[in-house]
Structure 1
Amino acid sequence: MKFLSIKKSLSYISALVLTISITSSFTDPVYAVSSTCKTGMFLGYDGGISTTGVSTYSPDIVSLDYCNWNGSTGANMISYSSNSTVKNLGKTISVSCHMPNPKGGNVNTLLSASDFDILANQKIQNITTSSSVMLQTYKAEIDKIAAGLADLGTTVYYRPFHEMNYGWFWWGAQDTTDFKTLWYNLYDYIINYKKLTNVKFVYAPNKGDKAADYYPDSSTVTWIGIDAYSDDPENDSAIQTAYNALINKGKIIGFSEVGPAVGGAYVNSNNQQLKKFDYSLWNNAINNKYTGASYFITWDGAYAPFNNINGSLLFTKSDSSATSSALTKYNFENSNQGWVGNTNVTGPWSVNEWSDKGSYSLKGNITLSSGTKYYLYNPISDNYSGYKTLKARVKVASWGNLGSGLTAKLYVKTGNSYTWYDGGSVIVNTSSTTLTLNLANIINTSQIKEVGVEFIGGSNSSGTSAIYVDNITLE
């Protein structure tokens, strides 16, 4: 988010969020927003948090910020006195810190490329009283944050240097190699030197371009979060760009900050509410477009669900034992939604040549031959708990010699052993065929590791053709 997009919490000045999340397992209740998506909300800055939203909506995740905005600078602006209050809520916790520029000023005071290069390439544990003031200040700030993480005393998902793909924070829009080095040095200091093995790191760019350019490596990232403020999230191309760039990293992905757009139709550039935002727009976006999202965290103030409308829809839990309507997992509207093909498939692409629902489907081109297997699949961790049936609609193009007929199976792989389950072979026709997989007897539906469709060429088939998948639902 740009400078004008920084949110205020109550009367505090806004700036940056380094979100840290302390969590329980993401495998239990089903939510109105999605059966796989945990709900969360930001409570405020240290010393001034409000738990009003917790009693109203009972979120899974509560978030606070370690910046106290006391008018000081450096590490003196960082504290964690609200830890005890948040721990007593019994929720998954996220913590952020609007970390000041170690060269002076606040988080929005930009740092030169040369100073950033010096800071990024310095091992934090090697900073001493003989080091520059900038380096000593940086170490003191990190030490204060680390002390807060240790004080919480449980698994922590820490989101440092967020929105690095834009230039409104001192670490933003810097050299990608320097940024990755900064990340590695922080990870090494927290995990190896400080021995805070309870800390897990979260990579969190802003929506838009270059969301994956600063990604360090999977060994130092546990979660991915996207900061995404929008008046129309389902159709926001900047959110789609970031989501599509990160969905295939093999990590739990979610939205670390959500709300209406800053400077948009609902909230002005001074974070003042112009009119109430309809949070059903975010509910629909996660259900229909960002189906791989495992969590979201709403902001406070003008962005808070209880200060807008349909916030309860976003947070309402549904009865996982009595899911009454289909949840659309994938509809491929203008995106392949993380789906890929094996080496026997060219593509896949989101196309409007055919659809079972909406305007688009997923298409892959194939060369037909007897017994050849063609896979369209999504290698992403997911949770299908509470649902009885998985369905997919498929078809084959009318061109090419299908021989005895192209068959297809809808399948999932579950658990650490990637155990295969499928719904059996069905002949695919050139109009629309529904594939069904009974989830009732599948072990570990909370640990889906891959979902896909296996197509198999019929006897005496030849020539080129195309396969299509659309409207994958949980019921």
Structure 2
Amino acid sequence: MRRNNDIEQKKKILSAMLVSVLLVSPKINSKVYASIPSSCKAGAFLGWAENLETKDIMGDPAYSGKVNMVAFDVANWSDNDSDDNHKNNDATAIGDGPAGWHNANYETNFKNVAVLGKDTMVSAEIPNPEGQKCTTHMSSDDFSKVANAKITDSSDSKVVTNYQSMVKKLGDILADYYSNLNQKNQAANVYLRLFHEMNSSYLWWGFQDKEQFKKLWINLHDYLVYDRKFTWLKFCYAVNKGDENIGDEYKYTKDATLYYPGDNYVDTVALYGYSDDLSNDPDIQKPYAELTGGTYNGVTYKGYNKPFGFAELGAKVGGSYIDKDNNQIKPFDYQIWSNAIQSEYSKASYSIVFDKAYDPRNNIHGTSIFNDYKDANTSISYKAHVSNIGWQDYVKDAETAGTTGQTLSMEAIQMNYPNNIELHLQYQAHVSNIGWMSPVSDGQIAGTTGQHLSIEAINISLKDAQGKDSSDYSIYYRTHLRYMGWTSWTKNGSTSGTIGQSRPVEAIQVCVVKNGTERAQLMEGLVQGTK
């Protein structure tokens, strides 16, 4: 659920985000964190029309090969304002301004997502047809006109013709997107998250008369499926969980089933889930039971015989980790979500993590929210001993161990690579006032503790049972150096860091990749400096 209507503030938030923020507590924890099961497709929200981060997370070594579903909005949440004679409507791909969706930036962004070849969840925060932004309430009379209008019929009502124009542009976008997607992957699905969070009040279609809303849904469904012949398009009924902490207008939501238009018009049901503690959150538990069929607080719900998913997920808005304006207070541990999906929300067939402050790369154990079924033998975990902090928690698979921006040195590291292919880690630290220490392996400590000596360089190798370098897998790593930042990626025993410059290593990222895979090509490009 996104409630920040100030695009400039969003840009400010984005620019302030540090990709490698991991402020974890100084405790010893040897747990290796598990990811969600492969039966639940793991997805990422990429943004809005004009600012899609099309290949950002997809090209991140920690997430390459794990993101198997993408989501985006064809409208521009904050700038679809049509005040002052609609002068800003060209800021949304489906508004009625002069640029329309044919703006080259939009077309390029949508195409860049399509060529990823992934299952896609598309949402459309259509501006209020009365000539206002999507978060401005629509009168019940105008809503009734729009809800009952056929998209292909002529009308004398301006509000209806505005709506028809935007819906037709939405159809054009979907057609173009599917054409590009189909060229890349004919098996990929496109879901339209239609009139989402209708059981909340903050969008123009929210809290409207339930029967009128159903007509609105059905008429748009029939236009896209029958008039536009989009028989491939699937429809997602996505409700909001509600949140009592973010303002009077959001204090409650209506029942999850109230606006359901009927089985013939829905292919999947979904919930917007933002929570700090899913195991004890009635605002998640109740709508989950309503949608999937289950018992909550002594009441058993029938549910729908439709695939269920979390259309968006992240930490709670206005909670301990995210404030009311979507600013990050402190990093959230996504292992909470991963564990809950495995144990308490096991009916989830897909989950889509939100972006910006909710981005898994800006939080802790971000990769745990994704599954890694393609690379079963490549998960590596490691933890750093940091000056003034001590041992941090384990991280894994190109996540950041250590700190950045705090002028704190890494003093030691432990690494584990559990696998069934008889490979072993060998790693060696160059330490201030000591130099190269003896190589260690498989969970042993490289470096020192309690001596206030910094690691300045490191090399890491994968060895087979005979002690030879692995031929099937490679290990890639890079270090963050004081006053220099991140080094280039290197691999397989090469030195990362500096010698003789008294420049401490402050953080490290490490991943194992099977040779000859798409991810290996990505990493080789990073090593060679081509990406």
TM-score class, shorter? 0.5 to 0.7
Q: 1:321 to 1:108 in 2, by over 3 A?
A: closer
Deviation at 1:7, TM superposition (A): 9.9
Contact 1:9 1:301 in 2 (8 A): no
Q: Which amino acid aligns with 1:206?
A: N
Aligned equivalent of 1:239: 284
Q: Which amino acid aligns with 1:75?
A: D
Q: 1:99 to 1:46 in 2, by over 3 A?
A: same
Contact 2:3 2:325 in 1 (8 A): no
Partner SS for 2:70: strand
Q: Which amino acid aligns with 1:241?
A: K
Q: Which amino acid aligns with 2:209?
A: D
Match of 2:71 among 59, 63, 67: 63
Deviations 1:165-214 (A, max 9, x none): 11110000111111111111111111111212121111111125410111
Deviation at 1:6, TM superposition (A): 10
Structure-2 separation of matches of 1:85 and 1:216: 33
Contact 2:235 2:266 in 1 (8 A): yes
1:143 aligns with 2:168: yes
Partner SS for 1:219: helix
Aligned equivalent of 2:52: 49
Aligned equivalent of 1:121: 148
Structure-2 separation of matches of 1:8 and 1:49: 16
Deviations 1:39-81 (A, max 9, x none): 0011111232222211221301112221243762333386342
Aligned equivalent of 2:271: 226
Structure-1 separation of matches of 2:121 and 2:275: 22
Identity percentage over the alignment? 39
Deviations 1:233-288 (A, max 9, x none): 23211111111001031111100011111111111111111100111111011111
Extract structure 1 runs of 4+ deviating beyond 6 A. Answer: 5-9, 319-322
Q: 1:297 to 1:118 in 2, by over 3 A?
A: same
What is the root-mean-square deviation of aligned Cα atoms in Å?
2.6
Deviations 1:433-474 (A, max 9, x none): xxxxxxxxxxxxxxxxxxxxxxxxxxxxxxxxxxxxxxxxxx
1:283 aligns with 2:338: yes
Contact 1:38 1:60 in 2 (8 A): yes
Q: Which amino acid aligns with 1:42?
A: F
Q: 1:235 to 1:39 in 2, by over 3 A?
A: same
Q: 1:78 to 1:236 in 2, by over 3 A?
A: farther
Structure-2 separation of matches of 1:107 and 1:250: 31
Contact 1:124 1:186 in 2 (8 A): yes
Structure-2 separation of matches of 1:257 and 1:78: 27
Contact 1:7 1:271 in 2 (8 A): no
Aligned equivalent of 1:131: 156
Q: Which amino acid aligns with 1:166?
A: S
Q: 1:306 to 1:2 in 2, by over 3 A?
A: closer
Deviation at 1:4, TM superposition (A): 5.7
Contact 2:37 2:371 in 1 (8 A): no
Aligned equivalent of 1:105: 132
Deviation at 1:115, TM superposition (A): 1.5
Q: Which amino acid aligns with 1:189?
A: Y
Partner SS for 2:143: helix
Structure-2 separation of matches of 1:89 and 1:276: 29
Match of 2:96 among 75, 79, 86: 75
Partner SS for 1:11: helix
1:181 aligns with 2:226: no
Aligned equivalent of 2:482: none
Structure-2 separation of matches of 1:7 and 1:241: 33
Q: 1:320 to 1:272 in 2, by over 3 A?
A: closer
Aligned equivalent of 1:35: 38
Deviations 1:88-124 (A, max 9, x none): 2232222222211000211100011222112111212
Q: 1:156 to 1:136 in 2, by over 3 A?
A: same
Aligned equivalent of 2:347: 292
Partner SS for 1:234: helix
Q: Which moved more, 1:222-231 or 1:204-213?
A: 204-213
Q: How does 1:222-371 map to 2 (within 5 A)?
A: 222-247=267-292, 248-318=303-373
Q: 1:70 to 1:158 in 2, by over 3 A?
A: closer
1:191 aligns with 2:225: yes
Partner SS for 1:243: helix
Deviation at 1:33, TM superposition (A): 0.8
Structure-1 separation of matches of 2:337 and 2:72: 22
Contact 2:2 2:326 in 1 (8 A): no
Match of 2:257 among 204, 209, 212: 212
Deviation at 1:12, TM superposition (A): 9.4
Deviation at 1:320, TM superposition (A): 9.5
Structure-2 separation of matches of 1:13 and 1:78: 27
Q: 1:89 to 1:35 in 2, by over 3 A?
A: closer
Q: Which has the larger radius of gyration?
A: 2
Partner SS for 1:317: coil
Structure-2 separation of matches of 1:86 and 1:256: 18
Q: Which amino acid aligns with 1:88?
A: V
* Residue segments in structure 1 that go unaligned for 5+ positions in a row: 15-30, 323-475
Partner SS for 1:197: coil
Report the count of equivalent residues. 304
Structure-1 separation of matches of 2:346 and 2:8: 29
Deviations 1:140-165 (A, max 9, x none): 11111110110022442111100001
Q: 1:195 to 1:318 in 2, by over 3 A?
A: closer
Q: 1:78 to 1:284 in 2, by over 3 A?
A: farther
Structure-1 separation of matches of 2:260 and 2:38: 28
Aligned equivalent of 2:123: 96
Contact 1:78 1:145 in 2 (8 A): no
Deviation at 1:10, TM superposition (A): 5.3
Structure-2 separation of matches of 1:194 and 1:55: 34
Q: 1:148 to 1:180 in 2, by over 3 A?
A: same
Q: How does 1:17-28 map to 2 (within 5 A)?
A: none
Instruction: Name the TM-score, length of structure 2 as normaliser.
Output: 0.54
* Residue segments in structure 2 that go unaligned for 5+ positions in a row: 15-33, 82-87, 90-94, 183-188, 243-253, 293-302, 378-531
Contact 2:137 2:204 in 1 (8 A): yes
